[in-house]
A and B are shown apart, each in its own frame.
Chain A
Amino acid sequence: MFRIEPRKEPSTLMLYATPLIAVALTILSGFVLFTLLGKDPVRATLLIFYKPLTSFYSLSELIVKATPLILIGAGLALCFRANIWNIGAEGQFTMGAVAGGAMALFLFEVEGFWVLPSIWIAGALGGMLWAAIPALLRNRFNANEILTSLMLVYVASLLLSVLVHGLLRDPQGQNFPESRLFHDAALMPILLPGTRAHVGFAVALLAVLLTWALMRWHVIGFQIKVAGQAPRAARFAGFSGKKIVWFTFLVSGGLAGLAGVFEATGPVGQLVPALPVGYGFTAIIVAFLGRLHPVGILLAGLLLALTYIGGEGAQIAMSLPAATIQVFQGMLLFYLLATDIFVNYRFRPAPMKTAPPSTPASPTAQ
């Protein structure tokens, strides 16, 4: 038997090795899965993990897909560090898209340098407003934020649906539930010509940088860490728990809102009912896979985006059912989460003192 022992310091080796181990284990299990399904496992694995990295276009799509994950994940990490459970980023994402999209429609065919910033600000405010509800309810009424933020996800997506069926519907759209296409001045500037990769990725990198600096140097970063690790100590130190709730919710909501408006005015270009596709939930996983560290989140976001793009590629090239890709992704997540333990803990052979005392023959018995 083995026992688990905490390391005195997190292992740097394991910090870098565990994601690789997890990917290796996933590939191994993938081999079994694909072979069972009668598909060529080598080809499938290469299509998922390698093929998307070999073309300019799929690399650009990797950025498109990773942008919202990184933006949202960076904000959520602040919450989770403080032990505050905002799991409603999906709703904040949706409301950001709704608010920013409404602003874009309001400014329809208006040109000017200020059009883009106002749309983005509206989006961020939309997300913040939606995040403010669980923050307020928690601070004012002690209502559990896991539940309230989650419930608001459904409300947000229904609200989006109501709006594109009515108020924001395209007047020339034959009554179909979609807004009109945003005009060019409202669209995200493209980062790489000929692709959909937009400046939102740069904003996401900036968010990574800023949250990293915040956690490292700013006093609120310190308060967040203490509140998360030692709530009692935080209280003794006189940190305001309520302030931290407000801060983390508003920042994460704002970033999720930005991700939403970027998605609406970027790759989609209009408001559609199917706009929320689960980025808010996937970003929770991204935050943890990145170990709540901004740089880790950047890498985790890219890795998850890779499996999505590669998964689609494998579906196209090998007619793999979408469900297979889901199972494959699930395994990857399990392995990543499972191997996490090696960073902060190590396995040691169990000491013999657990041997039953009635066996005096045991050579190491004292």
Chain B
Amino acid sequence: MKSLGLKFAIAGAAAAFALGMGIAQAADKTKVGFVYVGPIGDHGWSYQHHQGLLALKKEFGDKIETTHVEKVSEGPDAERVIRQLAQQGHKIIFTTSFGYMNPTIKVAKRFPNVYFEHATGFKRAKNVATYNGRFYQGRYVAGIIAGKMTKTNTIGYIASFPIPEVVMGINATYLGAKSVNPNIKMKIIWVSTWFDPGKETDAAKALADQGADVLFQHTDSPAPMKLAEQRGIWAVGQASDMKAFGPNAQLTALIDDWNPYYIRRVREAMNGTWKSTDVWGGLKEGMLKMAAWNKKIPADVVKLAEAARDGIISGKLHPFTGPLKKQDGTLFLKAGEKISDKALSAMNFYVEGVEGSLPK
């Protein structure tokens, strides 16, 4: 009984301490933490999340205090960094890479009063929310433009690793292009890296050499865009507006716009209405935006693309609508059937028409 009493005493003291902290913080600023996998200067994924941090600063001014840690590997270091942020009184922490999923869950168990936001994962808890962008929507729209703009009927695609996110992007691009150009072909190169400008350039060159005149990338550096500019072909930017690297080449870009989401969630954290949610936002929610169309895209193509975009926003159009077959010919969506989010987020096959085989 004695030990039980002791436990209560400790719990009481801890609660009082936590309460004290809470009061101290209410009068103080709300601390917001960010963990990035890359350097801020990658001009892709981490860069775009950092834009979100800057937007928060602008929105809330000195009501909040922001902290970021960059280049945190998805190995053993992640848990420590996240935990340190939690320990130092951050109210809400954004962990912005898939590999932070289990560390985030682990730390969250220990800090029930801190809100955690994990990007691209699928594990949630009472104080862990997840969020991700429906980037495939943008790829579908860009695919339509590409299908119309290509002279060689060949799209080049630089892919990183065969995870569902990347696979659904390839399929969506193909379906978009196919919907306006029945002769479209797609050449896919897997570079087995998220970030190696040299290798990405080499892959882009190989694709261009083999006749691709529109390049897509699912890697993080602006190198492929730069190459498209040099070669005088088209390209679609990834994660951020890459116009600076390809003023003539960029047809459009998929822009991850985390700002509205971040602002909303931090506000909720500040006024106590935060709840664990699973947000998969796309064009409709504004989490994904399309960069300004290239001026050289003819008006009728712009019309097609905007119709698709508006259709997706209104919910009338879903890029993955049946009848749709897998590459091997088996039917997986009946006519008129829309793919479920669950099936989409575990996609591990090419749709019919995409050539080559998906690496394991």
Task: Spell out A's residues near B (CB within 8 Å).
Answer: 57-58, 61, 64, 158, 161-162, 165-166, 174-178, 181, 196, 263, 266-270, 272-277, 309, 312-313, 315-317, 319, 321-323
Contact = CB atoms under 8 A, between A and B. Distances in A.
A270 B163 CA distance: 18
A277 B79 CA distance: 14
Given A165-B162, A174-B345, A316-B69, A272 B99 contact: yes
Contacts of B70: 315, 321-322
Nearest to B162: A165
Contact of A274 (B33, B73, B81): B73
Given A175-B163, A273-B74, 19 more contacts: A57-B83, A64-B76, A165-B359, A166-B360, A174-B345, A175-B347, A176-B164, A177-B161, A178-B99, A178-B102, A268-B76, A272-B74, A274-B73, A276-B75, A312-B81, A313-B84, A316-B88, A317-B67, A322-B69
B87 A268 contact: no
11 contacts: A57-B83, A158-B192, A174-B346, A175-B347, A269-B102, A272-B99, A277-B73, A315-B69, A316-B69, A316-B85, A316-B88
Nearest to B345: A174
B62 interface: no
Contacts of B71: 322
Contacts of B347: 175
B102 A270 contact: yes
A153 to B, nearest CB: 15
Nearest to A325: B71
Q: Which of B40, B70, B84, B345 has the most CB of A within 10 A?
A: B84
Contacts of B360: 162, 165-166
Contacts of B348: 175
Nearest to A326: B71
B77 interface: yes
Contacts of A177: 161, 163
List of 8 A-B pairs having minimum Cβ-Cβ separation, nearest first: A274-B74, A267-B76, A166-B360, A322-B71, A274-B75, A174-B346, A277-B75, A277-B73
B8 interface: no
Contacts of B162: 165, 175
Given A174-B346, A176-B163, A322-B39, A181 B76 contact: no
Contact of B99 (A165, A274, A312, A323): A274
B341 to A, nearest CB: 11
Contacts of B69: 312, 315-316, 322
Contact of A181 (B77, B99, B102): B102
Interface string B91-129: 000000011001000100000000000000010000000
B257 to A, nearest CB: 23
Contacts of B102: 178, 181, 269-270
Contacts of B87: 57
